[in-house]
Copies of this chain bind each other. A is one copy, B any other.
Amino acid sequence: MPKLRVHSIAMSLDGYAAGPDQDRQHPLGVGGNRLHTWAFATRSQRKMMGLDGGETGPDDDFIARGDENIGATIMGRNMFGPIRGDWGEDDWRGWWGPEPPYHHPVFVLTHHPHEPIEMEGGTTFHFVDDVGAALEQAFAAAGGADVRIGGGPATIQQYLRAGLVDWMHVAVVPTLLGGGERLFVDDLGSLGYEVVEHVPSASVTHVALARKGA
């Protein structure tokens, strides 16, 4: 059975997976960049961005796993861009330039209809207004491969609450954000999740959750 996976969600010590006041200048919210320094230092993340070099080790291993056997991505509209409410006249095409690093269909959750956007390199953004429909379409598009939830926290929480996430990796980053979007708001134990991996690195602590008995 193909799985629904969450990878490399970075969370501050005080529990935030995105900083406050996201806008065009702050795609990850104010201070949110600090959550991702560890990732940008890895060989796999640099390769995705077309850069040479970078570190190997546990951080790199976790980043690399996020790319394996993924056929489609689901994300919330706040991860897709800074526009709220109606799309209006804006020709927003995501944060990632003409060739986003997905190279597969991406399903963006939004109640505001939008035509699909075909990008270079195999990424097409589809806009879907229902969590269940997005999942169904993503699995169909993945053609037997797994589906990854890109984020943000609110989108991940919706799929966790429905018990639909099979595996989830969180990197705890030793920094304070002081505000933003909390990653953990539900009782995940009652929802059937438990910690299945714990791998500290010099920069962060990797923890993976999965459904009990899965």
Q: Is the CB of B189 within 8 A of A174?
A: no
Return chain B residues, CB-CB under 8 Å to A178.
186-190
| Chain B residue at minimal CB-CB distance from A203 | B198
Chain A 182-214, CB-CB to B under 8 Å as 1, else 0, gives: 101011111001110010111001010100000
Report how far A94 CA is from B170 CA in the complex, Å: 38
Contact of A174 among B13, B179, B184, B207 (CB under 8 A): B207
**Is A15 interfacial (CB-CB < 8 Å)?**
yes
Q: How many copies does the complex hold?
A: 2
Is the Cβ of B13 less than 8 Å from the Cβ of A170?
yes
Instruction: Looking at the assembled complex, report how far the CB atom of A185 sits from the nearest CB atom of chain B, in whole angstroms.
Output: 9
Counting CB contacts under 8 A, is A14 at the interface? yes
Contacts of A195 in B (CB 8 A): 13, 174-176
A4 interface residue (CB < 8 Å to B): no
Query: In the assembled complex, which residues on chain B have CB atoms less than 8 Å from the CB atom of A202?
Result: 200
CB < 8 Å neighbour of A184 from B14, B31, B193, B194: B14
The 8 closest A-B pairs by CB, nearest first: A200-B200, A178-B187, A14-B184, A174-B198, A205-B205, A178-B189, A15-B15, A174-B195
Given contacts A177-B189, A200-B200, 4 further A-B contacts (CB under 8 A): A13-B195, A172-B172, A178-B186, A200-B202
